[in-house]
Amino acid sequence: MASTQEPAARKLWGGRFSGKTDPLMEKFNASISFDSRFYRADIVGSQAYAKALALKKIITEEEAAKLHDGLDSVLAEWESNSFQIKDGDEDIHTANERRLGEIIGSHVAGKLHTGRSRNDQVATDFRIWVREEGRKLVVVLKELIDAAVVRAENEIDVIMPGYTHLQRAQPIRWSHLILSHAWSWHADCQRLEQLLDRLNQLPLGSGALAGNPFQIDRDFLAKELGFDRLMPNSLYAVSDRDFVAEFLFWASLTMVHISRFAEDMIVYSTSEFGFIQLADAYSTGSSLMPQKKNPDSLELLRGKSGRVFGGMSGFMMTYKGTPSTYNKDLQEDKEPVFDAYDTLMGSLQITTGVLSTLKIRPEKMLASLSIDMLATDLAEYLVRKGVPFRETHHISGEAVRLAEGRSCSMADLKLEDFKKLHPAFEEDVVKVWNFEQSIENRSTPGGTSRITVKAQIDSLKAFLQ
């Protein structure tokens, strides 16, 4: 008995069914509204698969060439925004195959799916997409790191208060602060590159779940599609979305780092601190108060970190409940990845713009330094005289308390005052009250001295090259 479905409306999976699908279910089931972003990966994967079919004599070389050229035509339509999605195009695979059939005829187009399932097809498309788009994120992330390095190198002599618990702690270089964020982004870059390497294994040739029955050359497919290795188990290949979880975790952590940078800059741009001023291009005003200059760019960066994390947690709740092999729940893997990608791509570029254009106020940073921030240096002075640190810490605290009791700076205390605290104090104690020297004393690798900050800059430069 002939099919009750017209060829144009025939579904890839429709042979089993005689009744019509509920229109609401059609819409509920469809993913073409978002997985159309896979159009290039889907076409490239299909072209490679056509070649693999021809190598095994399942289709002729002429048919493979016809499929390849037809798919090029489909790709051209996507690239020119002239591709027309029609009713029945439930996903990108259906849409591309339907259009291919219209261009080269359904007889040849219908051979393309031989031995292939949408299960291994979508897994392949997704990995290709994340791999290629992830490489773009690496480029943008390195541009952000480069902006930090340039700023750190140009402003290496600017000193400022360093904070713990948002309380003034010890003097540091402004460059040291900027580089602390750059090192977080460096780690993000490394993690992304490692993730892209891990996901670069080929699912295609796994069929729906049990493998391909036509001895398709999977090594050939891997080489054609730029994969380093094969997924070793067909059940694993069609169901694994660990790379999605990893990407969403990477995106969440990277956004956390961007958010922490944003928080620093928001705090330092307030009138109470006044260390930096954002460029007008990344600020907005108030609809009521004309004097306001709001750091909206930074606040949006801080806010969007929650959005990305929410996408990750939502996907993980879906992923945890899926049994072996492919389940339609996994259709929910794409939108959070697309949203995270778009958010990261915009956020990284905005962060680069903010960092590159903000103005610093070195005089405000310098004015915020206070002698009490050198209390640790006073303790270290006594250590160099042979006094155990646990004693010097206590003695330095007594000096702080003495100065507070007199409403003066520790630098205003007399040598006699220090001698009463400990006989090891000598006239050279006055050399402690030097912010620049305090910074230069921190010269072990990773410290805030000029030579160690320069070493960080050189190291990041080498990484970027």
CA 369 – CA 160 distance, rounded (Å): 7
**CATH code assigned to 119-159+172-193+231-367:** 1.20.200.10
For residue 344, give the 3-state DSSP assignment. Answer: helix
What is the pLDDT averaged over residues 8-18? 52
Catalytic, out of 80, 107, 165, 271: 165
Banded pLDDT at 15 (limits 50, 70, 90): low
**pLDDT above 60 for 218:** yes
For residue 386, give the 3-state DSSP assignment. Answer: coil
The answer to whether 386 and 423 have CB atoms below 8 angstroms apart is no
What is the pLDDT averaged over residues 87-104? 96
The answer to whether 122 and 210 have CB atoms below 8 angstroms apart is no
What is the pLDDT averaged over residues 182-188? 98
CA 355 – CA 295 distance, rounded (Å): 13
175 is catalytic: no
The more confidently predicted of residues 333 and 23 is 333
Residue of 148, 59, 92 whose CA lies nearest to 463: 148
The answer to whether 284 and 330 have CB atoms below 8 angstroms apart is no
Q: What DSSP string describes 52-65?
A: HHHHTTSS-HHHHH
Predicted confidence at residue 11, as pLDDT, reads 58
Predicted confidence at residue 27, as pLDDT, reads 85
**pLDDT above 70 for 103:** yes
DSSP 84: -
The answer to whether 104 and 70 have CB atoms below 8 angstroms apart is yes
The answer to whether 185 and 141 have CB atoms below 8 angstroms apart is yes
Banded pLDDT at 3 (limits 50, 70, 90): very low
At 262-318, the pLDDT tens digits run: 999 999 999 999 999 999 898 876 666 656 678 899 999 999 999 999 999 999 999
b/e map 338-368, b = 16+ CB within 10 Å: ebbbebbeebbebbbbbbbebebbeeebeee
Q: What tokens appear for 222 in the block? A: 């891997």
Predicted confidence at residue 124, as pLDDT, reads 98
Q: Residue 8 is which amino acid?
A: A
For residue 105, give the 3-state DSSP assignment. Answer: coil
Banded pLDDT at 25 (limits 50, 70, 90): confident
Q: What DSSP string describes 3-53?
A: -SS-GGG--TTGGG--SPPPHHHHHHH--HHHHGGGHHHHHHHHHHHHHHH
At 108-161, the pLDDT tens digits run: 999 999 999 999 999 999 999 999 999 999 999 999 999 999 999 999 999 999
The label of the residue with tokens 């602390």 reads 180
Residue of 104, 108, 98 whose CA lies nearest to 39: 98
Predicted confidence at residue 376, as pLDDT, reads 95
Predicted confidence at residue 293, as pLDDT, reads 79
Q: For the chain, what are the domain ranges?
A: 21-114, 119-159+172-193+231-367, 371-464
Contacts by residues 15-22 (CB-CB < 8 Å, ≥ 24 positions apart): none
**pLDDT above 90 for 6:** no
The label of the residue with tokens 């979880």 reads 245
**pLDDT above 90 for 83:** yes
Predicted confidence at residue 284, as pLDDT, reads 76
**pLDDT above 90 for 57:** yes
CA 392 – CA 14 distance, rounded (Å): 82
At 337-347, the pLDDT tens digits run: 999 999 999 99
Banded pLDDT at 29 (limits 50, 70, 90): confident
Residue 447 is inside which H or E element, if any? Answer: none
Q: Where are the alpha helices (DSSP H) in 155-295?
A: 174-199, 218-225, 234-239, 242-269
165 is catalytic: yes
Residue 411 is inside which H or E element, if any? Answer: none
DSSP 444: S
**CATH code assigned to 371-464:** 1.10.40.30
**pLDDT above 50 for 403:** yes
> How many percent of the chain have pLDDT more than 90?
90
b/e map 399-425, b = 16+ CB within 10 Å: beebbeeeeeebeebeeeebeebbebb
**pLDDT above 80 for 18:** no
DSSP 284: B
The more confidently predicted of residues 29 and 35 is 35
Region of poorest pLDDT, from 15-24, 308-317, 328-337 = 15-24
Predicted confidence at residue 2, as pLDDT, reads 38
CA 98 – CA 88 distance, rounded (Å): 9
The label of the residue with tokens 């259009």 reads 99
Residue of 145, 95, 140 whose CA lies nearest to 121: 95
Q: Burial-class residue 384 by CB neighbours within 10 Å (0-12, 13-18, 19+).
A: exposed
**pLDDT above 90 for 28:** no
**pLDDT above 90 for 355:** yes
CA 382 – CA 376 distance, rounded (Å): 10
Residue of 339, 285, 330 whose CA lies nearest to 311: 339
Catalytic, out of 18, 286, 324, 443: 286
CA 205 – CA 124 distance, rounded (Å): 10
Predicted confidence at residue 290, as pLDDT, reads 59
The fold adopted by the segment(s) 21-114 is: Fumarase C; Chain B, domain 1 (1.10.275)
